[in-house]
Amino acid sequence: MTWVGLVAVAGVACLVLGGVLAAARRVDRGIVAQGAGMLALGVAGLAVLIDGTPVGSGFRSAVDPAFGLDALSGFFLVVLCVVALPALAFARDGLREAPRAPALAALTAGFLLAMAGLVAARDVTTFLACWELMTLLPASAILVARQDAEVRGAVFVYLAVTHLGGVGVWVALLVLAREGALSGVPLAPGGLQALVAVAALVGFGTKAGVVPLHVWLPRAHPVAPSHVSALMSGVMIKLALYGLVRVLFEWSADVPLWVGLVLLAVGALSALAGVLYALVQHELKRLLAFHSIENVGIIVLGLGASLVLAARGEATWSALAFAAALLHTLNHAVFKAALFLGAGAFGHAVGGLELDKLGGLLRRMPWTGGGFLVAAMAIAGVPPLNGFASEWLTLQALVHVPLTQDDALSIAGAVAAVALAATAALAVFCFVKVVGLVLLGEPRRPECAQAQEPPAGMRLAVVGLAGLCVGLGAAAAAIVPRLAELGPGEAAIEPGVALHAPGTGSLPSLGLVVALSLVVTVLWRARRSPRAAAAPAWACGQPSAPALAWTSAGFTKPLRLVLEAVLRPRREVVVESRGGVVQELAYHAEVPHLFDTHLYEPVTRVAGRGARRARRLQSGSLRAYLVYLLALVVVMLALASAGALG
């Protein structure tokens, strides 16, 4: 066994030890052991990613448990490590006041083991076992942390939707194993490949949270403990895309063009729907959950562009689109983990995350607020941070899709590029709102005015991830060439200080960081010697009061009016009057989730009616059950005599 394999085994052993220690009520030591294990696994993954030499077993179609690592697995192990270490540092301080801290810490260890096992699995049984554990363990952690009716309902929806959609994962993997595709002979084009592609899109797409299979995500992520939310949004939904990449890019040969077009359509819909519904949310963690849907859509756009460009013979741009998808996978993991952990720190300090009841937290929590601000700019695609680099490269790839003689393909590529551009603009709009309502302005309640920085581990987690947002933005030109080598085509791109894409301009990522750092330094030094005295904000001649401050609904009202036909907001005005004189006026407005009201609620009602009718078969009568068995035997004999059973 090589040293990389030994380091990986040591990492797994530390994770197991950490779970055992946590279950034995030694929570601090258990979390430290888990951190050591994740660090070891991250080192092993990075070594395999850089060197490119596989470790352990290769993929096999036989039903024999096996583990190994290749470059793609190494990349996703690095993503897991980058999120897990800050999440564990946050949990070490955040769980000290939790009533069920040992159980939560032990379940966290199991969750990390399941995700690491998924990317290292080299046979279908191990993959599917880790896949199911990756679903069940965070659900258990959520229920251990909270048991109220709202949380139980959210977990029920999460488990129901992901398991129903997960049937597609089982179908795709079992068919591929039966056909020997996991052993190095990709599945040839045909009806069976189309079945596998559809099953994989549904199964992996459900866990990734693509629209319209996303209904569980904005319910489950907000109610999870903050470090679990960071792991679910930063890593778990990306591992669903890892499975999709394996099926479409490695285990299937010559994937047809329609699969790429479907990915473009699903990605554009997910990106736009995610950011639009995020804009109208009033609770911070639910807003962040919808932004996870948006960013998964951006990643899917990159994967779809890669397949389309590969089908058109554009090998270089196919590889670059694939690299853009992987880069955004890493970038989103970093800034979304920072945002969820920052939200958890705010909730720890003030006791709630309603946007209209926050404000002024940057002045009172400068380290946590500053890290949250950097992550917010990164997710909004502000240069030179990491989110801008991956979105820029994705947009360049989408722009190259229409450069073909096929009119329909040109239209699809142009629509996808416009959708990404609109998504980027709306994301900036959304996080201007978030920063203004959460970090800036005056405190809107006493708890915000008295807020203090959380313990050191929680601060360090947010600040460290914010620093990574800057570092990854500067290093994008050095990272993309290696990621492009993992894609379906060939891209002759040399690492450097600027990212050069053929046929377009370059992205001087490091130069942007240096230039903007100098500008910020100059402005900061100028700010330290103010020439004007502080004065209260102008409020149209009235005394400044929290009631006059901007609200979340007020900030997005112009957009809701423009998109009223799409969002279909509901408004209710209640006027109370006595003696013909208005005494009180109440206004309530909400934007319903149309995928719930127009898709899932009708389906649920039909399923409920069907279940109630099916219950009549369970009469409790032994005679009825014997009749059922006799009828089944008769049907099976008839099928056997007709040769239908082979």
Q: Which residue has the higher pLDDT, 557 or 241?
A: 241
Name the E strands within 16-116.
55-56, 68-69
- pLDDT tier at 599 (50, 70, 90 boundaries)? confident
Provide the percentage of residues in the chain whose pLDDT is more than 70.
97
Is the per-residue pLDDT at 493 higher than 80?
Answer: no
Q: Mean pLDDT across the stretch 277-305?
A: 93
Least confident of 56-60, 115-119, 640-644: 640-644
Query: Phi and psi for 502 in degrees, rounded to 5?
Result: -60, 135
Nearest residue to 458 (alpha-carbon basis) of 349, 329, 316: 349
Domain spans in the chain, listed from the N-terminal domain onward = 256-493, 551-590, 594-641
Is the per-residue pLDDT at 306 higher than 80?
Answer: yes
Please name the amino acid found at residue 391: E
Is the per-residue pLDDT at 279 higher than 70?
Answer: yes
What CA–CA distances, in Å, run from 24 to 29, 31, 103, 144, 284? 10, 12, 9, 16, 34
In terms of C-beta density within 10 A (0-12 exposed, 13-18 middle, 19 or more buried), how is residue 174 classed? middle
Q: Mean pLDDT across the stretch 573-581?
A: 81
| 583: helix, strand or coil | strand
Nearest residue to 247 (alpha-carbon basis) of 314, 163, 189, 169: 169
What's the chain's average pLDDT?
88
Q: Are 191 and 184 in contact (CB under 8 A)?
A: no
pLDDT for 645: 67
What own/partner pairs with CB < 8 Å and gap ≥ 24 does 212-216 have?
212/269, 212/595, 212/599, 213/161, 213/165, 214/270, 214/274, 214/293, 214/595, 215/157, 215/161, 215/593, 215/595, 215/596, 215/600, 216/157, 216/158, 216/160, 216/161, 216/162
Give, for 75, the enclosing helix (H) or strand (E): helix 71-94
pLDDT for 579: 76
pLDDT for 423: 94
What's the whole-model pTM score? Answer: 0.91
pLDDT for 505: 72
What is the C-alpha separation between 22 and 109, in angstroms, rounded? 9
Q: Mean pLDDT across the stretch 607-612?
A: 82
Q: Mean pLDDT across the stretch 185-210?
A: 92
Q: Mean pLDDT across the stretch 265-291?
A: 93
pLDDT digits (tens, 9 = 90+) for 308-337: 988 888 888 889 999 999 999 999 999 999
Is the per-residue pLDDT at 487 higher than 70?
Answer: yes
pLDDT for 221: 87
pLDDT for 383: 87
Q: Mean pLDDT across the stretch 570-593?
A: 79
Q: Are 495 and 481 in contact (CB under 8 A)?
A: yes
Nearest residue to 289 (alpha-carbon basis) of 324, 251, 339, 249: 339
pLDDT for 405: 63
Q: Which residue has the higher pLDDT, 98 or 153?
A: 153
Q: Which residues contact 236 (CB under 8 A, 6 or more apart)?
A: 115, 134, 138, 207
Query: Phi and psi for 382 in degrees, rounded to 5?
Result: -80, 125
- pLDDT tier at 512 (50, 70, 90 boundaries)? confident
pLDDT digits (tens, 9 = 90+) for 136-184: 999 999 999 888 888 998 999 999 999 888 899 999 999 999 988 888 8
pLDDT for 530: 61
Is the per-residue pLDDT at 233 higher than 90?
Answer: yes
Least confident of 84-98, 344-358, 409-423, 602-616: 602-616
Least confident of 278-292, 422-436, 623-637: 623-637
What CA–CA distances, in Å, run from 249 to 101, 310, 517? 41, 10, 39
- CA 13 and chain centroid, separation: 28
- pLDDT tier at 528 (50, 70, 90 boundaries)? low
pLDDT digits (tens, 9 = 90+) for 40-64: 999 999 999 998 889 988 888 888 8
